[in-house]
């Protein structure tokens, strides 16, 4: 039997809407999605979320293909691991796949992305002291090395150039998440047409936003759930346990968790200088006004 591998991989970025895109694509009758949204199969060994049960370092591609065992006759086969954009192993191993996948990257306005990652890590993942501020979080990520540096992760061109060098421009598709969420139907129809599957499916599709940041009601229960999840398969976690858990133990993010205009302006100017301006030169199909309708980089 021919080994089934993805021909489309959503490779990033984090907190940019890849979860929503994955599930919206997975709903299409011509798309077979991996049984777990994030396989982490090509994950760097040193980082969090390393998949000890199925990874390229210790397992063959037959193990990877098990994520797509539900395939029947679908034309498009996908997975989505948004952390790939920042890592080294995917750049080595994914180009070797005989399926020669297209790589999709969703990019969100850089400061909003970084702040969303902070809020998600602090309130949803329970990784930091509840009193930690965003500036403190930035410094923590810098102190722990480039694999965690939240601002470097928002310097998209730094990472995308490596992917284009390996895959070529035609196999690396870059979009803005603002474009996706501002007009879901047209975005999904255009993407479907590009993938040569029926775009009309999305005319009547009911869109549900996924993976929104939320707080945790009971941290003890949250810590227990994080340990207990290792005893369940990826499919049941994604489709049953995580949604049920969030209904029981999630709460809105505190209203005081805001980003000051002064800090936003300073960070925006920093990132604009370090690479965001060049990003729009490198990808002329991106619309600078979707991120900076009043101009950017002026502090």
Burial class of residue 93 in the structure, from the number of CB atoms within 10 Å of its CB (0-12 exposed, 13-18 middle, 19+ buried): middle
Residue recorded with tokens 């949250």: 222
191: domain CATH number is: 3.40.50.300
* Structural domain of 176: 8-214+252-290
- Answer whether residue 57 is part of any domain: yes
- Check if the beta carbon of residue 253 is closer than 8 Å to that of residue 213: yes
Residue 37 lies in a domain: yes
Give the pLDDT score at 233: 56
**Residue 17 within a domain:** yes
The three-class DSSP label of residue 10 is: strand
Helix and strand tally (H, E) in the chain? 14, 7
Q: Is the preceding omega at residue 23 within 30 degrees of 0, hence cis?
A: no
Two tokens, residue 41? 């199969």
Does any domain span residue 45? yes
Reported as a single tens digit per residue, the pLDDT across 149-193 is: 999 999 999 999 999 999 999 999 999 999 999 999 999 999 999
Of 5, 6, 11, nearest to 173 by C-alpha is 11
Whether 239 maps to a domain, the answer reads no
> Any idea what DSSP says for residue 284?
T
pLDDT in the model for residue 206: 86
- Nearest residue to 197 (alpha-carbon basis) of 91, 59, 78: 78
Confirm whether 245 is domain-assigned. Answer: no
Strand partners, 9: 79, 103
Domain count along the chain: 1
Is 295 contained in some domain? no
Q: Name the stretches of the chain with pLDDT < 70.
A: 1-2, 48, 124-126, 209-257, 296-299
Helix (H) or strand (E) holding 273: none
Which pLDDT belongs to residue 130? 77
Answer whether residue 224 is part of any domain.
no
Residue 221's pLDDT is what? 59
């Amino acid at each position: 039997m021919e080994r089934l591998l993805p021909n489309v991989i959503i490779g990033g970025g984090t907190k940019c809407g890849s979860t929503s895109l994955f599930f919206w694509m997975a709903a299409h009758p011509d798309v077979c999605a991996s049984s777990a949204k994030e396989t982490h199969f090509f994950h760097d060994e040193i980082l969090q979320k390393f998949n000890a049960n199925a990874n390229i370092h210790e397992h063959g591609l037959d193990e990877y293909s098990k994520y797509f065992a539900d395939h029947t006759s679908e034309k498009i086969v996908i997975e989505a691991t948004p952390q790939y954009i920042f890592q080294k192993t995917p750049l080595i191993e994914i180009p070797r796949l005989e399926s020669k996948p297209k790589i999709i990257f969703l990019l969100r306005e850089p400061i909003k992305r970084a702040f969303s990652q902070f809020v998600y890590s602090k309130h949803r993942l329970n990784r930091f002291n509840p009193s930690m501020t965003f500036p403190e979080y930035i410094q923590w990520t810098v102190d722990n090395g480039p694999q965690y540096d939240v601002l470097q992760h928002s310097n998209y061109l730094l990472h995308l150039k490596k992917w284009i060098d390996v895959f070529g421009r035609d196999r690396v598709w870059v979009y803005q998440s603002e474009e996706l969420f501002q007009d879901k139907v047209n975005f999904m129809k255009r993407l479907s047409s590009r993938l040569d599957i029926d775009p009309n499916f999305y005319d009547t599709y009911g869109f549900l936003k996924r993976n929104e940041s939320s707080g945790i009601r009971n941290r003890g229960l949250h810590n227990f759930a994080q340990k207990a999840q290792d005893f369940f398969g990826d499919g049941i976690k994604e489709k049953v346990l995580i949604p049920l858990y969030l209904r029981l133990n999630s709460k809105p993010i505190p209203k005081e968790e805001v980003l000051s205009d002064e800090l936003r302006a300073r960070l925006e100017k920093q990132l604009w200088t370090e690479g965001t301006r060049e990003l729009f030169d490198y990808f002329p199909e991106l619309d600078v006004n979707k991120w900076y309708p009043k101009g950017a980089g002026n502090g």
